[in-house]
Structure 1
Amino acid sequence: MNLILLSTPLFFVLMAVEWLGGRLQHRRVFRGTDVFANLCLGTAQTVFAAVSAGLLAGSYVTLYSLRFFDIPSTSAWAWVVLLLGTDFCYYWFHRASHQIHLFWAAHAPHHQSEDFNLSVALRQGPIQPLFSRVFYLPLALLGFPPAMFATAVALNTLYQFWVHTELIRTLGPLEWLFVTPSHHRVHHACNGRYLDKNHGGMLIVWDRMFGTFEAERERVTYGTVKPVRTFNPLVAALTPFRELAASIRRTPRFLDKLKVAFMPPGWTPPGVEATPSDVPPDRPRFEVHAPHRVALYVLLVGSLSLALILAFQVRISALSPVVRLAFVAWFLASLGGLGGVLEGRRWARPVEALRLVTVPFLIAAL
């Protein structure tokens, strides 16, 4: 049972509630172009996770076979310890993803949005699970059963959804123990004093214990220090890796080239000019004003594509490797093509035409 997939309708219900709350406060909570990119990147991670499920689950199952203890899934205390352990492991993964450039490249898409709303919670780095799951492997050796672990991770992820909002200011004494929207606004900020703070998933106590806590004190500017400036989800996902590769190419010394991938994203190797890291508080947000007919096309065709993606996820276990690879290729073309249409790129129309021609064949394969 995939709790995240089952919760998808609830995500959209809560987004509608947030939109209504914004209207009542005379605030524009969502921008359609940004929501499009957020949902596409979230879908990309679910597709990648579905395709690589055997690899991600297999490593945990393998270590579980070497477990030190047998922990029963019927024990209430075992669930309490597991939820704490899961959140502790998440904290260190999340902190590492901000301190190791290679990990940051996988995590950065989640921070690229210059808005902050519930749709941003769904925006994820497509290949991030390859890095995050490594941090949870000690739980397998301790003896937490795979199904129990999968449920705990899903609950941890579900908790993090609601903290992506500006409509909830502070929650009084709960701010001392739990991660709240105020804490997470700080985490998504690119203001200098807020960078790399508040990494907790459910509990803020880890940040307080290990020196990464920062309270919300000044106006937040959202996004990454170097803005991605695109709503094309495929470009957004690839840009952090392209920038990492460019940093490696610019670095003159061989040993420093190796270090670039494992040092913090802001590290400047000797012989390379430092890039400015100051973000003005009034930095304008990137915007694209698509014609109504283009927005309608992206909405309708994107929705139909999403339905096909959901069908693929339901049927994936019965599909051959060839069909899976063909579908992934089509999905990547969907991300790039729809994003290109939205931004008015000339090359996007032939990509979309070719992609739509292949839809009947994919439906037949499913």
Structure 2
Amino acid sequence: MSLIVLSIPLFFVLMGLEWLAGRLRGRRVFRGPDVFANLSLGAAQTVFTTVAGGLLAGAYVLLYSVRLFDIPTSSAWAWALLLLGTDFCYYWFHRVSHRTHLGWAAHAPHHQSEDFNLSVALRQGPVQPFFSRAFYLPLALLGFPPAMFATAVALNTLYQFWVHTELIDRLGPLEWVFVTPSHHRVHHACNGRYLDKNHGAMLIVWDRLFGTFESEREPVVYGTVKPANTFNPLRAAWMPFQTALSLVRQTPRLRDKLRFWFMPPGWHPPGVEAPPMDEVSSRPRFEVRPSHRRVLYLSGVGVLTLLVTVLFLFRGASLAWPVKLAFAAWFLASLGGLGGVLEGRRWAPWVEASRITVLPLALLAG
């Protein structure tokens, strides 16, 4: 079973401690609608990874079958090199995901939150693993066994959880080697000087070596340059692709339509007018104020949906493909329906009624 799934209870304990620390300092660390969107998007990525687990692992296993070396899993040096190699590969995945339209469309949901707390660490682009896993394939060719690699990636991911907080200040000499909350606050900023900086996961040395390092010098404005302005996780996940596809449809030449996906997000094809982009130094955060009835519904049904999803994640490896796909469809409806209720959409009750009707089937799948 995945170390990430096993760590879910710990994530919630640490989020509770962050909330308590914020209260003691007189700070509001969490906003309910934002936390809902963050957890929903995190669950979506985990669900999709569970459904497509064999597909994602297949390329790694295939390359490992023609590996250059046999690396022993019992060697401490092998583990140290693998952790270093995993972090290096992650740096380049992360940098490319900020510098290409294709990568950014998959990664952007992680940056849409206008808050910065531990729940944001769980907010992920649902389809991002289909893009990120390609960057780790050289490790298979070198001979790192698949199970060993899976553990290293999980440890790399778990490290990144704690750096999503405003409550930890700079950490002295550690700032020179390791990624810290201060470094990652810069990474999540949409201030002009902070854009596309500090891509490292565990080690900040890659950013220092390759010219993408920036220290925290001015107040941070969180979110994307063009704000998402939604707490509906399904809409938030689709929005970057919708924007990209709209630009591709407007692009006159086929060559530019293809080139578009590999160009930086700020690049606009010839013949397509670029919208004005102002420098972001401050802006109000997007808000929704649901009624007490909607809050009660979201609290009860949302928690039930999350519990069913966690149950599915624990059993996912043993379930048949049709069951996994059926659950994924139900889960997508859950994201859209609950997000619609949160934002007061008229169609949301119909979606919720439909998916709750088939909830017993989802429980059987879970």
- Measured against the shorter chain, the TM-score band is over 0.9
> Shift of the alpha carbon at 1:282?
2.2
SS of 1:325's equivalent in the other structure is: helix
Which segments of 5 or more consecutive residues in structure 2 lack a partner in the other structure?
none
User: 2: CA distance between counterparts of 1:194 and 1:186?
Assistant: 6
Correspondence for 2:335 = 335
Correspondence for 2:4 = 4
Correspondence for 2:152 = 152
Correspondence for 1:105 = 105
Deviations 1:86-139 (A, max 9, x none): 000000000000011011100000000000000000000001000111000000
Deviating above 6 A after TM superposition, structure 1's stretches of 4 or more consecutive aligned residues are none
User: 1: CA distance between counterparts of 2:69 and 2:280?
Assistant: 52
Residue 52 (1) aligns with residue 52 (2): yes
Q: Normalising to structure 2: TM-score of the pair?
A: 0.98
User: 1: CA distance between counterparts of 2:363 and 2:29?
Assistant: 36
Correspondence for 1:166 = 166
Residue 312 (1) aligns with residue 328 (2): no
Correspondence for 2:132 = 132
Higher alpha-carbon deviation: 80-89 or 17-26: 17-26
Contact 2:102 2:262 in 1 (8 A): yes
Correspondence for 2:179 = 179
Partner letter of residue 143 of structure 1?
G
- What's the C-alpha RMSD, in Å, of the aligned pairs? 1.0
Q: Normalising to structure 1: TM-score of the pair?
A: 0.98
Correspondence for 1:24 = 24
User: 2: CA distance between counterparts of 1:52 and 1:102?
Assistant: 20
> Shift of the alpha carbon at 1:185?
0.5
Residue 81 (1) aligns with residue 81 (2): yes
User: 2: CA distance between counterparts of 1:9 and 1:321?
Assistant: 27
Identify if the C-alpha distance between structure 1 residues 33 and 365 changes in structure 2 by more than 3 Å, giving closer, same or farther: closer
> Shift of the alpha carbon at 1:362?
2.6
Contact 1:192 1:278 in 2 (8 A): no
Correspondence for 1:266 = 266
Contact 2:71 2:144 in 1 (8 A): yes
Identify if the C-alpha distance between structure 1 residues 85 and 365 changes in structure 2 by more than 3 Å, giving closer, same or farther: closer
Correspondence for 2:292 = 292
> Shift of the alpha carbon at 1:63?
0.7
Contact 2:169 2:182 in 1 (8 A): yes
Contact 1:29 1:117 in 2 (8 A): yes
Q: Percent identity?
A: 73
Deviations 1:295-318 (A, max 9, x none): 121111111111111222222333
Higher alpha-carbon deviation: 19-28 or 89-98: 19-28
Deviations 1:53-96 (A, max 9, x none): 00111111111111111111111111111100000000000000
User: 2: CA distance between counterparts of 1:200 and 1:164?
Assistant: 13
Contact 1:256 1:269 in 2 (8 A): yes
> Shift of the alpha carbon at 1:330?
0.6
Correspondence for 1:221 = 221
Contact 1:47 1:313 in 2 (8 A): yes
Contact 2:190 2:280 in 1 (8 A): no
Identify if the C-alpha distance between structure 1 residues 52 and 139 changes in structure 2 by more than 3 Å, giving closer, same or farther: same
User: 2: CA distance between counterparts of 1:364 and 1:211?
Assistant: 51
Higher alpha-carbon deviation: 270-279 or 123-132: 270-279
The count of aligned residue pairs is 366
User: 1: CA distance between counterparts of 2:197 and 2:355?
Assistant: 42
Correspondence for 1:301 = 301
